């Protein structure tokens, strides 16, 4: 977890500004129904899901209790400075920052939307870190500011530290905008100020995690951390949510071994493990 200090002189301003093709916020309203049975009559098919799916996906929990497993790390990680085509509307703190291309694309869409609101001084301070890099940071910063190697979301590739070239994120327009709108684009503020007893990490206004829609909007509307959201899914087994006019059905499936799951034959769906003992199926109806 990087602390924001006097670092603007090191900012690489390539790509700063905003995209004119900004997307409008789509996920303004959420209606969540718990303890439901599927009310949609749809054709289904059976898929085989291996036990290692528990440790893969955008919803896996990485913290001091749950470490990254082999195969959990996002596959499309690149060094951003070497891919200038990805630097759309934001700057980099240094030339070494790495992230999955898919996460950068979601981030760029979000930054473009912020630009339409006149908020356009975003920076990425940190992205993916190797275990070696995380271990060094842990030794330098200590347990109050970092997690051991393998227990940090930065080792996964779905977390990034976001800053502003204007001022610290506590006070910057970029920080305020993200608090309100990041969930609309699949990102959550991972370590909120009033949830430190749950996350085990002090408030970090710069640390955001990609979990994808509709989960990010549900979490924000219900004021849930990732830990709380996964507990809620495990408790209720199935929830239905309306987000931005789309209806989603989200089911939790306990996985002790390879299994067969029923999924819609004609609707899109996504699988994600929780990194504990379950697989979440998200269906867009």
Helix axis angle, 215-222 relative to 226-236, nearest 10°?
100
Q: What is the dihedral of CA 101, 102, 108, 111, to 10 degrees?
A: -130
Q: Is 133 a catalytic residue?
A: no
The single residue of 204, 227, 228, 249 carrying the catalytic annotation is 204
Q: Extract long-range pairs of 258-263: CB within 8 Å, 24+ residues apart.
A: 258/48, 258/49, 258/50, 258/51, 259/48, 259/49, 259/51, 260/46, 260/47, 260/48, 260/49, 261/46, 261/47, 261/49, 262/44, 262/45, 262/46, 263/44, 263/45, 263/46, 263/47
Residues 6+ apart with CB under 8 A from 155: 62, 68, 73, 128, 129, 130, 131, 134, 149
Supply 10's token pair.
Answer: 């090191």
* Contact predicate 104/81, CB 8 Å: no
Nearest-CA neighbor of 71 among 86, 54, 59? 54
DSSP 16: B
Active site residues per annotation: 204
């Amino acid at each position: 977890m990087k602390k924001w200090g006097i670092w603007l002189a090191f900012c690489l301003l390539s790509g700063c500004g905003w995209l004119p093709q900004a997307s409008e916020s789509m996920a303004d309203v959420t209606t969540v129904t718990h303890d439901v049975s599927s009310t949609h009559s749809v054709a289904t098919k059976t898929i085989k899901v291996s036990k290692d799916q528990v440790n893969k996906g955008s919803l896996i929990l990485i913290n001091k209790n749950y470490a990254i497993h082999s195969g959990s790390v996002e596959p499309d990680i690149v060094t951003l400075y070497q891919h200038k085509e990805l630097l759309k509307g934001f700057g980099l703190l240094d030339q070494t920052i790495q992230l999955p291309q898919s996460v950068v694309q979601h981030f760029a869409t979000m930054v473009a939307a912020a630009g339409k609101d006149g908020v356009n001084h975003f920076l990425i301070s940190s992205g993916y870190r190797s275990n070696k890099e995380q271990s060094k940071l842990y030794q330098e910063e200590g347990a109050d500011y970092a997690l051991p190697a393998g227990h940090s979301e930065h080792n996964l590739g779905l977390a990034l530290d976001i800053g502003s070239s204007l001022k610290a994120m506590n006070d910057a327009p970029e920080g305020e905008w993200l608090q309100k709108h990041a969930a609309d684009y699949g990102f959550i503020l991972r370590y909120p100020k009033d949830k430190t007893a749950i996350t085990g990490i002090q408030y970090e206004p710069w640390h955001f995690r990609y979990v994808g829609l509709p989960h990010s909007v549900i979490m924000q509307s219900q004021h849930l951390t990732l830990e709380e959201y996964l507990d809620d899914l495990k408790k209720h087994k199935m929830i239905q949510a309306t987000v931005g006019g789309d209806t989603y059905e989200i089911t939790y499936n306990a996985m002790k071994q390879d299994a067969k799951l029923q999924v819609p034959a004609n609707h899109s769906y996504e699988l994600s493990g929780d990194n504990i003992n379950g697989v979440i199926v998200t269906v867009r109806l």
